[in-house]
Amino acid sequence: GARIMVVHTGSAAKISRETAMAYAADTVEKACALLAEKRTSVRMGLETMGKQNQLGTLDEVLRLCAIAPAILAPVVDFGHLNAREGGVLRTADERIFDAISSALGGEAAETLHCHFSQIEYTKMGEKRHLTFADETFGPFFGPLAEAIVSLGVSPTIICESAGTMAEDALRM
């Protein structure tokens, strides 16, 4: 009964980002061919990642999703984006939804599958997932809620708090 399976697209730790993206694109194309062959309705979700050496900026995910938009979907992890960019998600930022809509169409933004948690970060990006009790690192859910209401979108949000997923999901 799954609608989406979420995967990570790879790392650029010891190779250039361009080479890593080429490898990821090749792998994604092969996976899409297999999914198409199986005639499954399950989509493959490519997740944004929180560490600098991982593939998974929003732009990289959108570029890979453009390979087969009927099979691939972006999975935005707001905590990962905030961590990898040093804490940039402080206000109701609709640009993420706008970028998805521009790259893949309005439905991709309207029905976005996403993850949300607060994440401690360093200059290298994600360090560890936190709970909603944290008041330092963010991102905080209020601005995302404002963007959802303002845009009228209906994302699926998976809470990934450290040990308090159920409680923090209820708070959302």
pLDDT tens for each residue of 57-72: 999 999 999 999 999 9
What is the C-alpha separation between 139 and 141, in angstroms, rounded? 7
7 touches 47 (CB < 8 A): yes
What is the C-alpha separation between 26 and 45, in angstroms, rounded? 16
Helix (H, G, I), strand (E, B) or coil at 20: helix
pLDDT class of 92 with cuts at 50, 70, 90: low
The structure's pTM equals 0.94
How much is the average pLDDT of 13-31? 95
What is the C-alpha separation between 98 and 148, in angstroms, rounded? 12
On the question of pLDDT at 93 being above 80, the answer is: no
The per-residue pLDDT for 72 is: 97
Segment 162-168 long-range contacts (CB within 8 Å, at least 24 positions apart): 162/117, 162/128, 162/129, 162/130, 162/131, 163/131, 164/131, 164/132, 164/133, 167/131, 167/132, 168/117, 168/131, 168/132
27 touches 69 (CB < 8 A): no
| Residue 147, token pair as written in the block | 């963007």
What is the C-alpha separation between 76 and 72, in angstroms, rounded? 13
